Copies of this chain bind each other. A is one copy, B any other.
Amino acid sequence: MKILVVGANGQVGKHLVNFIQKKENMEARAMIRKEEQASYFKDLGAEVAVADLEDEIEKIAKAAEGVDAIVFTAGSGPKTGKDKTLMVDLDGAVKTIEAAKQANVKRYVMVSSFDTSREAIQSAPDAFAPYIVAKHYADEWLRASDLDYTIVHPGGLTNNPGKNQVQLGEKVDRGEIPREDVARVIIAALENNATIGKAFKAVEGNAFVEDAIKSI
């Protein structure tokens, strides 16, 4: 299974490509914005495709040609303005969904925010609400597509070492999760077709990822 990792140069993305390359039945293609970012991925034996989420859909579709799945784990990040929230977190995400359709890639895993519900938008602090709005509409666009999607809603991301132990579910209390374990959850989702058409939250917990994913 070849997987296009969108946002490969992000912190979750790097863990993800690393893990994918270690799996026998998976290989990664890292979508990166600049050729200068390629060496990390080439050293892991992964393919790279240079494309930007602000590029046209056609260019992103070209980066997705021949893969079996797309994982969206990009984010405009806290250092950029709300303009990038609109252009990357919302429109960039939607363009990868449209690119998946163009490139005939059916499987799509979205890394969303912990709670992108209407209630979360209404109760969020002013500074955070626009980000949730962007993620909300990206999730909605994916749900309305005919892709084989899975939406992962991770808790607060940490750089703690992963434990491979999580709690997954539609309703779990807000918590943290190491980025490394988010990457593990994504891989487990890709390996379990029962996660297709599902959305679930992911925080650290007591169940091994490979077991927890079976309860979804």
A interface vs B, CB < 8 Å? 56-57, 81-83, 85-87, 90-91, 94, 118, 121-122, 126-127, 129-130, 133-134, 136-137, 144
Contact = CB atoms under 8 A, between A and B. Distances in A.
A130 B85 CA distance: 9
A82 B144 contact: no
A87 B133 contact: yes
A146 to B, nearest CB: 14
Given A118-B57, A144-B144, A126 B90 contact: no
Nearest to A121: B91
Interface centre among A81, A126, A133 (most CB of B within 10 A): A133
Q: Which 9 A-B pairs have the closest CB atoms?
A: A82-B82, A86-B130, A83-B130, A82-B83, A91-B133, A86-B133, A56-B122, A137-B137, A87-B130
A125 to B, nearest CB: 11
16 contacts: A57-B118, A81-B81, A82-B82, A82-B85, A82-B130, A83-B126, A83-B130, A86-B129, A87-B130, A87-B133, A90-B133, A91-B121, A91-B133, A94-B137, A137-B137, A144-B144
A137 B90 contact: yes
Contacts of A133: 86-87, 90-91
Nearest to A92: B133
A169 B94 CA distance: 28
Contacts of A94: 137
